[in-house]
Structure 1
Amino acid sequence: MRTTISILGCGWLGTELGRNLLKKGYIVKGSTGTNSRYNELEFTGIQPFYVRVEPEAMVIDYFSFFNTDVLVIVIPPARQENITDIFPAQIGKIVEQIRQMKIQKVLFVSSTSVYESTNKEVREGDEGIPEKPSGRAIIEAENILLNRQDFQTTVVRFGGLIGANRNPGRFMAGKKGIPGNTPVNLIHRDDCVQILSQIIEKEIWGEVFNACCPDHPLKKDFYSKAAEVSDLPIPEFSDLPENYKVVNSDKLIKRLEYTFKYPSPMNYLNELQAWDFRI
């Protein structure tokens, strides 16, 4: 019997993951909260569902979306006040459906924002108290899922996402006075998709993984190069100190025996230059 995967949040990352899983022979259901994305999903072969998760309730067209073997949650916290209350409440509503439909396996897309910037390398278990409310909301959401005994959750903490249609040259083009001597924690969408797919294929559950490029160039080097290959104004960096963290992904690499397509974000920029990338 073919395995069914439901992806809650088919945006820039979730849709690409769905396409990849379809090629591997899985049945894929995908959710969106907008009508335009709903129509786009239909053309990919992903079975489209309308789902909007609110703290008080879930707005959904068909609850058969949750009739699945694996639920992948790809919904970041929205930028709004009280996010430390709202996002965990949203996850709580999702848990209600997981329990009701007796889903056994959950894959939660998290973020390295759960780590404090302590000017050192961080590994799984070094979370501390994140500076941003979004980071605190995400780590609480992780705990809600990981502490459940009636299903298994694997959490993947991605660094900053780069890749198709996300030109990093635009992030800081023309800006001035930016502290530039801090390392970046980035990952390409292609690697994100392969990592999530391999976790599902290899059935690695009940784990927490960091997922970033193993190489961490300085902010000034990466974003200057990104602007250069995109014909955008080069940002001006300062030597002012800035708190940072270096996210270590050794656990993921060892457990999955994973080889990054883009071991450094600079590899991606070199590829863009080779293709005369312009956005």
Structure 2
Amino acid sequence: MSDKDSKVEKKQISILGCGWLGFPLAQRIQSLHSTWQIKGSTTSVAKINTFVENRIEGYLLPLNPTFDVESAKLHSFFNVDTLIISLPPRLHKHEPRFYVKQIDAVISEIRNSRIRDIIFISSTGIYPELNRIVMEQDVKTPEESASPDMVTAENLLTALRPDRNVTILRLGGLLGYNRIPGKYVQGQKDMATGSIPVNYIHRDDAAGMIITILETGIVNETFNIVAPIHTTRREVYETSCAQFGWETPTFADSNIKPDFKVISGAKFDHHYKYDFKFPDPLKFYYSLEDHSA
């Protein structure tokens, strides 16, 4: 048993959506807290063996938009004290509000379970470009949001309070490892958004901040999760392309400044103590290797 395990109550945690963020999060939890029980869901049969190799109980749980698996398997997955929901919203061309229906299905299972603590991975993409520093209270309703379905999902989950503790984490642009910003813009011409400040978070820090919450205690709050330095897109793209030898994009000269937002992470800093591994997006760690689960 590690020193941390002796100080922190043993937990049983299920990660719904054990993918690009959820899988390394599960690995890191296991390395820090060897006595904690970790379960992870996937929609890929091929990933189950990878989970087992990493001491993660793997569950094949398709959600389209409801669960289509036997009740015993669902009961086992949700039979924990803590649930982390890491389901990126995906548009469904045949079914409007597909993501909201997925979250509704998850909530039905939560209500029938013993889960008491919930972390929901949301996104700073819900904020419109307000041309200023943006705080958590700036968006509370779908009507205020650039992503109304995501806010609807947040509100459905926070309605579980006070019977359950629900923390909402609005993550900035999730980068690191093989998610390299320059890869997506190399060779582009006359980009108009070079002056916009970025709101990024490295995957290692996203996982680290989630673990800090698990260790310290889940609270009924919403937090922005972003690196504290907001350099410009141009600087990020140029640095990234130079690192990997890609053609640097060019940027249009314009007197018209594009709309922007600077996401504040001050609220998280007030509630929790966390030292960023990568506070500066210009110094994020990247690799061309495949780092998916």
Superposition TM-score, scaled by structure 1 size: 0.91
The answer as to whether partners of 1:112 and 1:210 remain within 8 angstroms in 2 is yes
The answer as to whether partners of 1:52 and 1:59 remain within 8 angstroms in 2 is yes
In the TM superposition, 1:149-168 aligns within 5 A as 149=161, 150-168=163-181
Q: CA-to-partner distance for each residue in 1:13-39, whole Å, 9 max, x for gaps?
A: 000110111121311000001111222
Structure 2 counterpart of 1:4, which letter?
Answer: Q
Q: Distance in 2 between matches of 1:252 and 1:189?
A: 17
The answer as to whether partners of 1:154 and 1:204 remain within 8 angstroms in 2 is yes
In the TM superposition, 1:249-260 aligns within 5 A as 249-260=265-276
Structure 2 counterpart of 1:19, which letter?
Answer: Q
The answer as to whether partners of 2:16 and 2:42 remain within 8 angstroms in 1 is yes
- Which of residues 248, 257, 266 in structure 2 aligns to 1:234? 248
Structure 1 counterpart of 2:30, which letter?
Answer: L
- Which of residues 3, 21, 36 in structure 2 aligns to 1:13? 21
Match of 1:34 in 2: 44
Q: Distance in 1 between matches of 2:10 and 2:268?
A: 27
Q: Distance in 1 between matches of 2:80 and 2:235?
A: 44
In the TM superposition, 1:128-147 aligns within 5 A as 129-131=144-146, 135-147=147-159
Q: Distance in 2 between matches of 1:163 and 1:197?
A: 18
Q: Distance in 2 between matches of 1:124 and 1:94?
A: 24
1:167 CA drift (Å): 2.1
Match of 1:58 in 2: 67
Structure 1 counterpart of 2:20, which letter?
Answer: W
Are 2:235 and 1:221 aligned?
A: yes
Give the match's secondary structure for 1:258.
Answer: coil
1:59 CA drift (Å): 2.3
The answer as to whether partners of 1:229 and 1:278 remain within 8 angstroms in 2 is no
Superposition TM-score, scaled by structure 2 size: 0.87
Structure 1 counterpart of 2:84, which letter?
Answer: V
Q: Distance in 2 between matches of 1:81 and 1:115?
A: 24
How many residue pairs end up in the alignment?
269
Match of 1:47 in 2: 57
CA gap of 1:207–1:35, structure 2 versus 1, over 3 A, is same
Q: Distance in 1 between matches of 2:180 and 2:90?
A: 22
Q: Distance in 2 between matches of 1:244 and 1:167?
A: 21
Q: Distance in 1 between matches of 2:26 and 2:134?
A: 30
The answer as to whether partners of 1:253 and 1:259 remain within 8 angstroms in 2 is no
Q: Distance in 2 between matches of 1:8 and 1:104?
A: 15
- Runs (5+) with no aligned partner, structure 2: 1-8
Match of 2:216 in 1: 202
Give the match's secondary structure for 1:15.
Answer: helix
Higher strand share: 1
1:243 CA drift (Å): 1.5
1:83 CA drift (Å): 7.2
Q: CA-to-partner distance for each residue in 1:205-250, whole Å, 9 max, x for gaps?
A: 2111001111111111111110110111101112343211100001
- Which of residues 128, 133, 138 in structure 2 aligns to 1:121? 133
1:278 CA drift (Å): 5.8
Give the match's secondary structure for 2:144.
Answer: coil
CA gap of 1:259–1:83, structure 2 versus 1, over 3 A, is farther
Structure 1 counterpart of 2:53, which letter?
Answer: F
1:130 CA drift (Å): 2.8
